[in-house]
């Protein structure tokens, strides 16, 4: 979000326009799908612990619900913008369609920095957010979830506020809840594991075994941590992890040629994804500049932090050894850099396929919450693997049959599925 010249919503629309033109989508459907159906902009007054009242700006945007209730996380971030939320809502529509789950796309955000807020202030912000949108969301309308700098505790506060307002128990209103309070086993691991399921299938399609391959990861939050753990468990080696340091207000890459221990790295990372520099050095990491993660001689790059992290200022730094870029984050490669990568021959697993494990497991949680019956962890992860593998194979088949870039193939399937639902409902 740091690059003021980058507009994620324009990036999302450009990606859509490219494929809409390719598949000959009619003008009405194109106009309808390139912008959100509904937007909610609101202010949230919060009584702070020091006795003052602070006003926060919040958003909930529903891009499309033709295939089912809108679905998408809520971000708390000091540099949140309405265009970021619009883009993410749009990408959620395509993501749900890509893995063929009966949900649409939505997203929420609040401009705030939870690192600077007490737990009580965060709870009041969560409850205030729900009060602003309680009539416009729900288990059969729009189902929120955690995202950047929000967690299971935030979701439970939001659920409690929603249930207080509506006078009942509605565990299917929100996902990412604590296990035992309507949450699903396997949800914590789901997005990161889903990334590696698609990496495994991409390597198979190249005739390569994941064992012995190397990866460089940007990000040290939930997605990056669990991707690193499963990658290591399957025999791969993580040689670099990059993350933002809140104290220094800049990013670093932590590199180790003989491989980082994912479990140990997780132990020295705080709840906001900041790695303890001193402890990292104690376990043998080399502290290097921000873009060093791109320059590693790794087989796989996994950008799993924020949008616009690979752009025209650094795309040429990517090592020639890289075979796969797996987009663990939403929109980590901007449009111009994507053209460079498209022409380089690197195999890209697009974000709304690669990181769809989270929303897929959120769908599983929603189903379990609505029927008040919960599955064992092994069953959840097996269903997740099956869904992600099936989606990868379907998109790969379209890519090969039509000689399309994987991102275009994913859009090809997603846009067609959503456009068909819109037309069948008679909306356009």
Dump pLDDT digits (tens) for 97-109: 999 999 999 999 9
Q: What is the pLDDT of residue 87?
A: 95
Judge whether residue 266 has pLDDT over 50. yes
Task: Considering the candidates 107, 256, 387, 396, report the single residue annotated as catalytic.
Answer: 107
Tokens 């035992």 found at: 180
Q: Does 107 participate in catalysis according to the annotation?
A: yes
Domain identity same for 200 and 79: no
Dihedral over Cα of 378, 359, 109, 175: its sign:
negative
Residue located via tokens 């990861």: 217
Mean pLDDT of 17-24: 93
- State the CATH number of the domain containing residue 122: 3.40.50.10860
| 13-23 burial code (b ≥16 CB/10 A, e <16) | bebbeebbeee
pLDDT-derived band at 267 (thresholds 50, 70, 90) equals: confident
What's residue 392's pLDDT?
Answer: 98
Q: Closest Cα to residue 351, out of 323, 322, 330, 334?
A: 330
51-86 residue pLDDT tens: 999 999 999 999 999 999 999 999 999 999 999 999
Domain shared by 280 and 135, yes or no: no
pLDDT of residue 3: 58
Confidence of residue 1 (pLDDT cuts 50, 70, 90): very low
pLDDT in tens, 180-235: 999 999 999 999 999 999 999 999 999 999 999 999 999 888 899 999 999 999 99
Tokens coding 121: 């202030």
**Residue-range definition of the domain harbouring residue 341:** 189-349
pLDDT at position 5 over 80? no
CA–CA dist 198, 356 (Å, integer): 10
Residue 381 lies inside a defined structural domain of this protein? no
**Given the structure tokens 């494929």, which residue do they identify?**
19
Residue 198 belongs to domain with CATH number: 3.40.50.720
> What are 269's strand-pairing partners?
275
Phi, psi for residue 421 in degrees, rounded to 5: -65, -40
The pTM score is 0.89
141/272 same-domain check? no
């Amino acid at each position: 979000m740091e690059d003021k010249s980058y507009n994620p919503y324009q990036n999302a629309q450009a990606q859509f326009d490219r494929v809409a033109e390719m598949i000959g989508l009619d003008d009405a459907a194109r106009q309808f799908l390139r912008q959100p159906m509904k937007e909610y902009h609101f202010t949230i007054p919060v009584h702070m612990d020091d006795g003052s009242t602070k006003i926060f700006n919040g958003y909930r945007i529903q891009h499309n619900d033709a295939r089912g209730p809108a679905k998408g996380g809520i971000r708390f971030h000091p540099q949140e913008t309405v265009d970021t939320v619009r883009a993410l809502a749009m990408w959620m529509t395509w993501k749900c369609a890509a893995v063929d789950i009966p949900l649409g796309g939505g997203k929420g955000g609040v401009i705030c920095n939870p690192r600077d807020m007490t737990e009580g202030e965060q709870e009041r912000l969560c409850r205030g957010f729900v009060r602003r949108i309680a009539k416009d969301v729900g288990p059969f309308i729009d189902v929120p979830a955690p995202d950047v700098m929000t967690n299971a505790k935030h979701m439970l506060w939001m659920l409690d506020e929603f249930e207080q307002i509506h006078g009942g128990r509605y565990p299917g209103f929100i996902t990412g809840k604590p296990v035992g309070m309507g949450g699903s086993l396997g949800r914590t691991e789901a997005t990161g594991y889903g990334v590696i399921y698609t990496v495994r299938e991409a390597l198979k399609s190249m005739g390569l075994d994941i064992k012995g391959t190397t990866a460089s990861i940007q990000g040290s939050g939930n997605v990056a941590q669990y991707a690193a753990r499963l990658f290591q468990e399957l025999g791969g080696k993580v040689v670099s992890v990059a993350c933002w340091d809140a104290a220094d207000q800049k990013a670093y890459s932590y590199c180790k040629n003989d491989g980082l221990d994912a479990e140990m790295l997780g132990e020295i990372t705080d709840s906001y994804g900041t790695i303890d520099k001193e402890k990292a050095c104690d376990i043998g990491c080399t502290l290097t500049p921000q873009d060093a993660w791109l320059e590693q001689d790794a087989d796989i790059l996994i950008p799993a932090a924020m949008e616009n992290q690979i752009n025209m200022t650094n795309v040429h730094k990517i090592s020639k050894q890289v075979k796969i870029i797996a987009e663990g984050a939403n929109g980590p490669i901007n449009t111009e850099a994507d053209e460079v990568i498209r022409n380089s021959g690197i195999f890209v697993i697009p974000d709304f396929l690669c990181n769809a494990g989270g929303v897929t497991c959120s769908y599983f949680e929603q189903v379990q919450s609505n029927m008040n019956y919960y599955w064992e962890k092994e069953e959840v992860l097996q269903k997740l693997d099956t869904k992600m593998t099936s989606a990868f194979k379907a998109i790969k088949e379209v890519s090969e049959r039509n000689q399309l870039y994987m991102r275009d193939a994913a859009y090809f399937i997603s846009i067609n599925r959503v456009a068909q639902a819109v037309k069948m409902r008679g909306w356009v």
